[in-house]
Structures are given as structure tokens and as C-alpha cells.
Structure 1
Amino acid sequence: MTGFSAQAPAAVVMIRPHHFRPNPQTAIDNAFQSAPETDVSRQARATVTKAAEQLRDAGVEVVLFDDRTSSHPDSVFPNNWFSTHAGGRVAVYPMRAANRRGERRSDVIEFLKRAYRVQEVIDYSGLEPDELFLEGTGAMVLDHVARIAYVARSARADPFLLERFCTTFGYEPMLFDAADQHGTPIYHTNVMMCVATDFALIGSAAIADDRRRAAVLQRLVDGGHEVIDLSFDQLGAFAGNAIELRSRDGSRLLAMSTTAERALTAAQRFVIESSCRILPLEVGPIELAGGSVRCMLAGIHLDPRPID
């Protein structure tokens, strides 16, 4: 349960929104999204503040930025527009919804350059006019050790751009079709699966094709992961939208929402807690937008610069 893990970052970027609301432009293909009856922006801001405090108390470094604009309802989900990678590389991604494109922030990238060893920033956002989209570690669930990018095909995950990313960053693409119990395509892969150091959470029933499902599960096993299969109900509770992190003492934890944590069975909890401890975060207002804890945390897989 301790020791370095390339899969589990020790630091994350979070965005605290001041005008959060479920995004009408993303509702068209996000079946996890729901409309609140009242304005939840103040609750969302307090929710992010509290989650950041809990993560820091658990020994995770949190870099918290504020978004005071009113034009970016989904800015609380930074993992969709950038990702960081060992070797000092940062990727910036093209976003499908027009009102999400302004979430990309130069101050975040400049902070990473100052605080961490960044050698290269590769920006794919110029492909938006060509309607080529790849929404970061929402669209891709990355196994940083086995170097596999698991991706549910969607309008937010273009296969051509996926191949381009994988060639540049050294991942093997594992592309598949996935849908919920109603046949609605899964909009982001990270709502149906999570890869940690020793285990993987996955709603495998969402992959209708038997052969492709078996291939995905076998790759997870071959990568050294014990597979924890999630039901459709558990996916609806965001049990797949989790992220493994590393505390300053070297121990690992699985950050997930309290909704997700309550949905786990005793057997599933046993497997997880054999590898890391569960850190449940109350993010109910954020989940109205169709994402949960994983979407809120952009992991920092970069080497910090030495402090003078």
C-alpha cells in the first residue's frame, strides 16, 4: 500500500467555480447529467473548497485555481482540457462543446512550467475547427504503467486524434464501443472505468460486444490489475469515476464521491482496501453536471522543480 506508483499522482489541479451549473451544451450526449431545481453555484463552490481541504488533509498536494467567470459552467472539470505526463510533457485538448473551450487557461500551464519540469506542451486544440475532439482523461483512461489508453468511442473521442496522441505519448490505444443499459453511448470513458495500481474498476457490461469486452478485461489482467466489475446502477452512482492518488507519506488512496463509495459492495471494498484506502468526498452538487471526483482532479505526473 506504500511506495512510488506511476499510476498514482501525488498532486492535482482543481478549479473552484463561482458560477457552476450543469451545461446545456453537453446535455445532448451526457446521460449522467441532470438539471437542478435551484441554483447550486454557491453549493458547488463550497463543495470544491471542502474537497480540496480533505485531499490536503489526506496528504495530497492540491493546486487550487478559481474561475470567477460566468461563461464556463463546466470549468470544475479540468482533466478534460489538459493532462500531464512523465518526462515533462503536457497535452492540451480540443473540446466538443463551444462553451467549454474557454476553460483552457494559460495561467495553469504557466504554473506547471514554474513549479514542475515541463519540457514540451503539445496543443491539439487547433483541431476544433475540423471537429476533431479528444477530451483528455475524461475520454481516455490511461494505464501509465502498461502504457494503454482505454477509450470508449464517442463524439468526444475521435479515433484519428487518439492514434495521434498515442503515437506521440507512447500509449497503445484500446478502443471499444460502450453504452448504458438504455443503449445510450457512454460519453466519457472515465465514468465507466478507473485504472489503479493493483486493481481496475470497470462496468464491463457496457461493452456489448463479447469479444471486445473479453479483450479489454484480459488487457487489464495482463497489466497486473484485479478487475472489480461494476453494475449499471453502480456506474450511475459514479463508482467508476474515481482516481488513485498518493499521499506525502507514500501511501495510496482512492478518491471517489460519497455516492460512489456507498454503492460499493463489501467484496469490492475489500479488494480496494487491500491496495489503498478509500477517501470519500461529498460532491453531490457537482455530480448534477454528469461528472464526479475523477473529473474534478487533473493529476500532475511531472517532476517538481527543486526549491531554491
Structure 2
Amino acid sequence: MSHTTSSIIMVPPVDFCFNQETAQDNEFQHKIDQPHYVVKESALEEFTLMVNQLRDNHIEVLLLNKHHGDTEMPDAVFPNNWFCTRHNGEIDIFPMKTPNRRAEARPEALKKLLIHNGYQITAINHKQDSDSAFLEGTGAMIFDHRHTKTYAALSERCDAHLLTSYNQERGYETVSFNSSSSKGKPFYHTNVMMSVGEQFAVICLDSIKDPQQRATVENHLKQDQKQIIDISLEQAEKSFCANLIQLRNLRNEPLIVLSESAYHGFTKEQRQQLAAHGKLIACDIHTIETVGGGSARCMIAENFLPKQ
């Protein structure tokens, strides 16, 4: 099963602003002293430049646009939290923690976009929705498709029971653990402290305080022959170094998409290690990172669906 794809879905940040609801457990969001319209314009400009960069590097970028009548969606630019696609044509829709993010889940609009672009959908699965348990897609879960494993840091947005039952249904092994920031708070999403590529993993091992849990995660990665690029808490928190994604373009060339802050946050040696696994595509998304508290990986939803 392929771990990477050349087709992705992205959502323009037309309502982008500081989201007070998600800021309760996302310590990477920051209010900046600029008018709302300036912040939104900056985010839209960054988004457009990123899309162009990806298309210039032969990635198919499908845009899920807002329709007339849709409610305000300040975090819509991070679509990987509400759905993921599967190689067998299925789409899974996940339960989101904050009420103002649940509006982002637009399965019919997503279905229309994908079918229009020639993709086959065999089923849309709505995962358990409740007011107390959440599982926010590939923000909460880091898939290793080649080895059918899921890495996940438990948090308010990654419920242990939902995680286990989802992976059992999917046939993936669960590798769960507790991870916390330098302030002692659980990371809101696993993908801010870990990413997994075909033959590498970027991970902040320092954030896994329990020695046994840390050893378990390391052993899984080593057993699957991943090159481990271990980053510091500072690199994870200030530069979003773990929030990157490996893709393969339409020419079957490996690419690694990350932010400019992540690119500069890596040491020279780490950048060289990473570049051995694909061309580094560094995107300037400073406003989106600062205000939204998410980075390049959060902005990309992979499309693994088969062509019609």
C-alpha cells in the first residue's frame, strides 16, 4: 500500500482569524496586533503561493471552496482534521472537538469535488460523533501505511477508545503514548510532534516523558527501518519542525512539504538527512502558523482514492 500520494485537497482560508475556541488547548495560536482583514489577506496570499509552489512541483491540488450559505469557518485551512481518504475508495469523517470546527465537515461538497476530478468513492463513513470523545483525523493520528500502524499522542482531541476502535476496524496497529510540551500540557495534535515518511520519521522524543512509552515508539520506528530525525521541544514548538508531509509528485519524485520556519528550524545536518528522502518544498506560511497554530502538514489532506 502506497504511503504517499501525488493528489491532495486544500481549503482556502477565506474566513481565517484567531479561533478562540481552539485556543483553549492549542498553545501555538497567537493573536497578532493587526486588523482582522489584514490577517485574512495575508493568510490568503500565503495559501495561494503555497498552492502554486505545489502545482509547480507537479502535485495535483484540489481546492474545496466555500459555498454561499456556509457558516464562518476560521480554521477551514486545516482540513486534514475532519476527513481522510483511503486507497479502497472510502472517506472517513471524524468527530471534531470544538463546535465552530464541526461546520468544516462538508462531505457532500468534498464528494462532488473528488468525483468531478475523476476519483472513485465507494463509501463515506461517519465516525462516532459525541460531545465528549473526539478523534481529529490525521492531526491526531500519524499513519504508516506501508506497515499498517498508527502513531497517536493521546489528548482532548485524540480519545483512546475511539482511536483503538478506529484502528481495529481499519486493520492498523495502534502505537499510542502521552506527549507534552515544555509547559507540561499535552500536545493538541500528534502531528505537531511527529511525522512519518516512507523511510524516515521526524519526532520530538523529549515530549514523550514516560521512558517505556518512548522506548516503544522508538522500537517500532527502528523495527520498520525508519531513519529517526529527533528534534527538540523548541524545534517542535517554535518552528513546527515535525509538521511536515512527504508526497510523491506526478513524476513519482519524492517531495517533503514544510514551512519556511520549519526549514530554518532544522539544523544543517537534519536538513541534509531530510533532503535525502525528497526535495524540500519550503512554504512561507508565517501568518497561518502564528494565528492558526498549525503548519504545512495541517493544511494538506491526502487523496488516496482510486481513479474512476
What TM-score results when the alignment is normalised by the length of structure 1?
Answer: 0.94
Q: What letter corresponds to residue 92 of structure 1 in structure 2?
A: I
Partner of 1:257: 259
1:263-302 equivalent positions in 2, closer than 5 A: 263-287=265-289, 288-302=291-305
Partner of 2:55: 56
Partner of 1:73: 74
2 CA distance for matches of 1:121 and 1:132? 20
Partner of 1:25: 21
Q: Does 1:102 align with 2:111?
A: no
Q: Does 1:14 align with 2:10?
A: yes
1 CA distance for matches of 2:48 and 2:205? 33
Contact 1:156 1:187 in 2 (8 A): yes
Q: What stretches of structure 1 of length at least 5 have no aligned partner?
A: none
Q: What letter corresponds to residue 262 of structure 2 in structure 1?
A: A
Contact 2:154 2:177 in 1 (8 A): yes
Q: Following TM superposition, where does structure 1 have runs of at least 4 consecutive aligned residues deviating by more than 4 angstroms?
A: none
1 CA distance for matches of 2:91 and 2:119? 11
Contact 2:71 2:103 in 1 (8 A): no
Contact 2:111 2:121 in 1 (8 A): no
Q: Which moved more, 1:63-72 or 1:209-218?
A: 63-72
2 CA distance for matches of 1:19 and 1:36? 16
How far the C-alpha of 1:70 sits from its partner, in A, is 5.9
1 CA distance for matches of 2:126 and 2:274? 35
SS of the residue corresponding to residue 49 of structure 1 reads helix
Q: Which moved more, 1:291-300 or 1:260-269?
A: 260-269
1 CA distance for matches of 2:133 and 2:99? 13
Q: What letter corresponds to residue 146 of structure 1 in structure 2?
A: H
Residue deviations 1:39-82, cap 9 Å, x none?
A: 20111111111111100001100001223656210000000000
SS of the residue corresponding to residue 64 of structure 2 reads strand
How far the C-alpha of 1:167 sits from its partner, in A, is 1.4
Q: Which of these residues, 28, 35, 48, is aligned with residue 31 of structure 2?
A: 35
Q: Does 1:46 align with 2:42?
A: no
SS of the residue corresponding to residue 75 of structure 1 reads coil
Partner of 1:247: 249
Partner of 1:177: 178
Q: What letter corresponds to residue 82 of structure 1 in structure 2?
A: F
How far the C-alpha of 1:301 sits from its partner, in A, is 1.1
Q: Which moved more, 1:263-272 or 1:136-145?
A: 263-272
How far the C-alpha of 1:111 sits from its partner, in A, is 2.4
1:136-285 equivalent positions in 2, closer than 5 A: 136-236=137-237, 237-285=239-287
2 CA distance for matches of 1:66 and 1:12? 14
Relative to structure 1, the CA distance from residue 253 to residue 97 in structure 2 (aligned partners, 3 Å threshold; closer, same or farther) is same
1 CA distance for matches of 2:206 and 2:224? 20
Q: Which of these residues, 107, 116, 119, is aligned with residue 116 of structure 1?
A: 119
How far the C-alpha of 1:104 sits from its partner, in A, is 0.8
SS of the residue corresponding to residue 257 of structure 2 reads strand
How far the C-alpha of 1:113 sits from its partner, in A, is 4.1
1 CA distance for matches of 2:245 and 2:196? 8
Percent of aligned pairs sharing the same letter: 35
Contact 1:17 1:67 in 2 (8 A): no
Q: What letter corresponds to residue 295 of structure 1 in structure 2?
A: C
SS of the residue corresponding to residue 29 of structure 2 reads coil
How far the C-alpha of 1:116 sits from its partner, in A, is 1.4
What TM-score results when the alignment is normalised by the length of structure 2?
Answer: 0.94
2 CA distance for matches of 1:155 and 1:239? 22
How far the C-alpha of 1:258 sits from its partner, in A, is 0.2
Contact 1:67 1:75 in 2 (8 A): no
Q: Which moved more, 1:286-295 or 1:110-119?
A: 110-119
